[in-house]
Structure 1
């Protein structure tokens, strides 16, 4: 399978195509550089275009790949013409042919022809349509291998952009509307990795990124921050960058951020909460329900949980890290209480303790839920009493009386039932 012609050959074809445009040639409209433009449509060999490696949808998978195989961080950037890198990118795209909406592009193109041209930059890299090109290449190669005389997708339709800036391409990427039934939303980890890459590698400000993608700067910052906690979790579990393992836990990681804010300025308590939250995500127990609902309860009860954890997981001798021991009694030394929390955090984060930590925390949250439920009974009775008192005060000769008698009889029944339950509890 050919994954892009060599640059001189692409360049020669692109120049020849652009110099041979006719007045009656079919054109395709897109909004580019702040105006609606019509670009001539060309047919090119399916092996000609190169994948655009700076691809938002594949950013997280690229990071996973170079981390997994101990490759340099600029593996996908240092030589964008390298065939080896394009083979990896094709493999990544192939795994993404089934979108979040459930559309499988291989199945889609088995029954349909290409209906929208791929968009190439002036050097023949695919600005939009990388997944579609991957699917068509797979189907084409399958037919070639099967000996089909006239395989489909031997040529694909493309439009070619004029020379432009990276920002022009990013803006186009963010604004383009592809055929609705094959458009895939960005996976949230890929989106976050894309924003972080633009900030850290391209030097874009969050304001600039927000402007390109029509978002608020705080949305960009929040998603990058979310990715920071995800990376901390994956690294702590020795599975760095394996984002696919936590795709369904976005709300749980958002709950960690909110929980840390709720706890306040005590960094040690926040670290203990985060350590517990990571263990909960790794070892969720039956009966916890949605983790994004369970984790806020952990933050609300962090003080009680810490006291219980001190009893269940006493720190070993010399548990506090050497960094803290070296500080001594100078201005920057921690208090005894802070040292206790640091030691506790280290103990709770030990791999052999993590599952037990989750069981202890769940038992405490369940007990608190039970206590709250019992307390809720008196609250509801007090509220009912107050409303009945209001009804007594409001009752006069003009009050509508239809239905009151039946309601009072029902209330009396409830009162007798509650009295019976109270009697049983008392005795």
Structure 2
């Protein structure tokens, strides 16, 4: 038997909670509200009374997926909507059944063995601020066997003051979830959504870093990665909000955010399409090797990739005309085109043609392979000079003033060996220079 969702009117919940607070003699200390210690009342509520918090950051991706899959409007997940609460329950049960790295038991598994050990954190209206997955797990178990799990007919709840604001509720959720603990963490998209919404609410990057126990760089990287994810889903896929489909591509989106934020105009747009192609290739299992190895393709090597790909595809790159956010300098009458003197519009148009993407993706990887191999050859060709420079540098650093007398014989032998190696290498150099002059 499954748990059947029932949502009491908010007025009924508020009155029940208020009455039980008045009768309660139990309290617990809470430190994550207004940065100071609070004694919050602890009460027992019937299992059906608390309701899930719809704005829970952990469930944003799953909610978006449901809306897309079922064709629901974005306003479906309303706090008091019983149908939405039932869907939220299904989402949370799935999370409650997850294990972490096969070493930490699921919430459902823990509750089976240990029952409820910590109270849920709820508002004065019974909205769960912390403990949504635990509540879902208790409801799942109680629905399966109300006799075996009869202690879950009521749940212990710690109640926040009625004066608390929604912004303060969000801060509490983030503080509790961002602490280092053994719970399942947010996925990267839900965390990035939390960061962006908090930033948009007026919090500075510095404040967010302190609140979320992260560096300012981490905060900015997450915002940039989510921006790139949104562009990919809307402009490339035509499926805005379909975050579940890209959860496994975290590394690529973070690399895109870091690399593309330093570009502009057509150069940025073309680099973005290189990255989009990699994401699609990866999704089809057609991306060989580690993702990290492809970063320069849409980063520092993007211009070289563009030139070689254009030549390979027979595309002529003409002088730029200022599209894609390029700027015009009125004083000098010079067009600045994404840091380049050419326009990448023909290549961009090619990448935007759905019928050409598969072939173009294969060509892009072949171009990249040729660049990587050429770079390896350059490194091999440069290696002898690098090693000789290093050896010379080491010899320059040698100071024999304090050398131990007993070591002088050994030092002399080493110097003899060095002279022999120098003579050998010099002969090789002379021969190669002679052969080179004959060829010319």
* Structure 1 residue 123: Cα displacement: 0.4
3-state SS in 1 of match to 2:158 = strand
In 2, the alpha carbon distance for the partners of 1:271 and 1:36 equals: 50
In 2, the alpha carbon distance for the partners of 1:254 and 1:6 equals: 43
3-state SS in 1 of match to 2:344 = helix
Give per-residue Cα distances to partners, 1:398-420, cap 9 Å, x unaligned: 45437546756886897799799
In 2, the alpha carbon distance for the partners of 1:407 and 1:142 equals: 81
In 2, the alpha carbon distance for the partners of 1:179 and 1:280 equals: 34
* Structure 1 residue 68: Cα displacement: 3.8
In 1, the alpha carbon distance for the partners of 2:303 and 2:180 equals: 50
1:34 paired residue number: 35
3-state SS in 2 of match to 1:401 = helix
2:73 paired residue number: 72
In 2, the alpha carbon distance for the partners of 1:19 and 1:2 equals: 30
Alignment of 1:15-414 (within 5 A): 15-21=18-24, 25-31=25-31, 32-76=33-77, 79-97=78-96, 98=98, 100=100, 102=102, 103=104, 104-144=106-146, 148=147, 151-163=150-162, 164-176=164-176, 182-199=182-199, 203-206=201-204, 212-213=211-212, 219-235=218-234, 236-262=236-262, 264-265=263-264, 267-284=265-282, 289-296=289-296, 298-315=298-315, 340-350=343-353, 351-352=357-358, 353-388=360-395, 390-391=397-398, 394-395=399-400, 398=403, 400-401=407-408, 404=411
- Cα contact 1:206–1:220 (8 A) shared by 2: no
Please, which runs of 5 or more residues in structure 2 have no aligned partner? 325-332
Please, which runs of 5 or more residues in structure 1 have no aligned partner? 325-330
Change (3 A) 1:111 1:179: farther
- Cα contact 1:198–1:209 (8 A) shared by 2: yes
RMSD: 3.9
Change (3 A) 1:346 1:215: same
- Cα contact 1:42–1:157 (8 A) shared by 2: yes
In 1, the alpha carbon distance for the partners of 2:86 and 2:58 equals: 17
- Cα contact 1:121–1:127 (8 A) shared by 2: yes
In 1, the alpha carbon distance for the partners of 2:277 and 2:297 equals: 15
How many residue pairs match? The answer is 403
3-state SS in 2 of match to 1:96 = helix
Change (3 A) 1:100 1:367: farther
* Structure 1 residue 246: Cα displacement: 3.2
3-state SS in 2 of match to 1:124 = coil
TM, length-normalised to structure 1: 0.79
Higher mean C-alpha displacement, 400-409 vs 107-116? 400-409
Give per-residue Cα distances to partners, 1:214-262, cap 9 Å, x unaligned: 6666654442222010122233134543333433433322222332355
TM, length-normalised to structure 2: 0.77
3-state SS in 1 of match to 2:76 = coil
Change (3 A) 1:6 1:29: same
1:14 paired residue number: 17
